[in-house]
Amino acid sequence: MFRSEVYRVPQEKTNVSAPHDDEGDYYCDMCDEGGWDSETELEIHRQYIHTDILCNLLNNKNKIVCFTCKREQPDRKTLYNHIKEEHLLSSKNAVRVEREIYICDYCCHIFFNKLLLASHIQRKHWPKTTKRIIECPKCLKMVTPQFLYGHAEMHQLQSISLCPICLEKCINRSDLAVHLRSHMKHYYCNICQYSTKRENYYQTHINHHKKYKVPYQGDFARYYIPVKGVLKKKFLTPFPIKGLPLWNNVHICILCREICLSRHKMQLHVSEHIEPKVTLRKRHVCVCGEEFFNNVLLKHHVFKLKGSHSALDEEYITINVPMKSQDVYVIPQ
Ligand SMILES: [Zn+2]
Ligand SMILES: [Zn+2]
Ligand SMILES: [Zn+2]
Ligand SMILES: [Zn+2]
Ligand SMILES: [Zn+2]
Ligand SMILES: [Zn+2]
Ligand SMILES: [Zn+2]
């Protein structure tokens, strides 16, 4: 008798949570305090009690630190892999953000959930004098701003391990990392509307776009999400409900979500959108008018039909990819 065995595909290890014991008590990595039963409380402790140390760390030119979560990284490569994976919810070699993003028109924070952005705008940016009733991004109930805080508490929306995409509360950030795998990646090219389900196809496709060596000379700042450079004493804890501000020289194109790690790279990238793309391509056409995908197919066609069929002289076409002015990523106020 054969006994069927189930082999589990080993999952990639995820250990992005703060140090904690088996009972789920979290400990601070900066002092001896511990015993918090949530990572959220620990994060608040870390950022409010250790403000001065963290401030010094962020201002220390010799250290490489992720400004979003205020944690030191061994080198630049690890830092950018970390930002792409942990904060942009994409793979570490992502060329573009592999999720749909929604950008706040007022503060430029990035959201991964449209309703969360809508409620953020109502809460944060609408004048306090107007009578406001805000839609809960989780249950869609209409609540007044005074009640929203308590209401959000009920859904545990103010948690650091909240899924920024579907707003489900996970146990901790390691659990969140596992949960995020259940959300399909957004492999969509805004430049040419190409879409796929496979990461490697997407990467190959995007690499075809990288052709510009001349930086765009015009005003390119409006094509990317502003990067924050000044450090404030009062930190913004990296809670999904607050959206994600950009630091560490990470530039993201608002038209296609391309990640550029310097202003200059962003400037080069913008050329892809602005300059008309002219590509010369050889066509494989028979004198009978039929066109083939490649020369082998054309030769086969000519060989098979003989007679009056023969390959037409080389012919070239130009492809123009029109520039799209604005995309759906920014919700108008
Ligand atoms: Zn501490
Ligand atoms: Zn970080
Ligand atoms: Zn905002
Ligand atoms: Zn609700
Ligand atoms: Zn989710
Ligand atoms: Zn494309
Ligand atoms: Zn772009």
CA of 143 to the centre of ligand 4 (A): 8
CA of 166 to the centre of ligand 1 (A): 31
CA of 166 to the centre of ligand 7 (A): 26
Closest alpha carbon to 234 in 105, 17, 70: 70
Q: Kindly tell me if the per-residue pLDDT of 13 is higher than 60.
A: no
Query: What average pLDDT does this structure show over 221-243?
Result: 83
Q: What ligand is nearest to the CA atom of residue 321?
A: 6
Q: What ligand is nearest to the CA atom of residue 47?
A: 1
Q: Which residue has the higher pLDDT, 168 or 126?
A: 168
pLDDT at 6: 40
Domain boundaries, the chain: 26-274, 279-319
CA of 64 to the centre of ligand 4 (A): 39
**Beta carbons within 10 angstroms of residue 306's beta carbon:** 8
Name the residue with tokens 């930002």: 83
Q: What ligand is nearest to the CA atom of residue 82?
A: 2
CA of 243 to the centre of ligand 1 (A): 25
pLDDT tens-place string over residues 168-191:
999 999 999 999 999 999 999 998
pLDDT at 309: 86
Q: Kindly tell me if the per-residue pLDDT of 32 is higher than 50.
A: yes
Q: What ligand is nearest to the CA atom of residue 169?
A: 5
pLDDT at 83: 97
Q: Kindly tell me if the per-residue pLDDT of 2 is higher than 60.
A: no
Closest alpha carbon to 261 in 227, 231, 229: 227
pLDDT at 236: 72
pLDDT tier at 316 (50, 70, 90 boundaries)? low
CA of 67 to the centre of ligand 7 (A): 24
CA of 278 to the centre of ligand 1 (A): 57
On the 0-12 / 13-18 / 19+ scale of CB atoms within 10 A, 169 is middle
Q: What ligand is nearest to the CA atom of residue 170?
A: 5
Q: Which residue has the higher pLDDT, 3 or 163?
A: 163
Closest alpha carbon to 243 in 112, 71, 81, 333: 112
pLDDT at 11: 47
Q: Kindly tell me if the per-residue pLDDT of 320 is higher than 70.
A: no
CA of 178 to the centre of ligand 6 (A): 29
CA of 68 to the centre of ligand 2 (A): 5
CA of 58 to the centre of ligand 2 (A): 12
| Residues lying with their CB under 5 A of ligand 5, a single-atom ion | 163, 165-166, 168
pLDDT at 15: 66
pLDDT tier at 313 (50, 70, 90 boundaries)? low
Q: What ligand is nearest to the CA atom of residue 134?
A: 4
pLDDT at 319: 44
Query: What average pLDDT does this structure show over 131-141?
Result: 89
Q: What ligand is nearest to the CA atom of residue 67?
A: 2
Query: What average pLDDT does this structure show over 303-329?
Result: 59
Query: What average pLDDT does this structure show over 243-252?
Result: 95
Q: Quick check: 67 and 236 in contact, CB under 8 A?
A: no
* Residue type at 52 in one-letter notation: D
CA of 44 to the centre of ligand 1 (A): 10
pLDDT at 314: 58
Question: What is the percent of the chain with per-residue pLDDT over 90, rounded to a whole number?
Answer: 50
pLDDT tens-place string over residues 49-66:
998 899 899 889 999 999
- Rounded Cα distance between 50 and 56, Å, is 10
pLDDT tens-place string over residues 68-124:
999 999 999 999 999 999 999 999 999 999 999 999 999 999 999 999 999 999 888
Q: Kindly tell me if the per-residue pLDDT of 196 is higher than 50.
A: yes
pLDDT at 63: 94
CA of 282 to the centre of ligand 5 (A): 46
pLDDT tens-place string over residues 224-233:
999 988 766 6
Assign 3-class secondary structure to the chain: CCCCCCCCCCCCCCCCCCCECCCCCEECCCCCCEEECCHHHHHHHHHHHCHHHHHHHHHCCCCCEECCCCEECCCHHHHHHHHHHHHCCCCCCCCECCCCCEECCCCCCEECCHHHHHHHHHHHHCCCCCCCCEECCCCCCEECHHHHHHHHHHCCCCCCCECCCCCCECCCHHHHHHHHCCCCCCCECCCCCCECCCHHHHHHHHHHHCCCCCCCCCCCHHHECCCCCCCCCCCCCCCHHHCECCCCCCEEECCCCEEECCHHHHHHHHHHHHCCCCEEEECEEECCCCEECCHHHHHHHHHHHCCCCCECCCCEEEECCCCCCCCCCECCC
Q: Which residue has the higher pLDDT, 84 or 3?
A: 84
pLDDT tens-place string over residues 268-301:
999 888 865 555 566 788 888 888 888 888 888 9
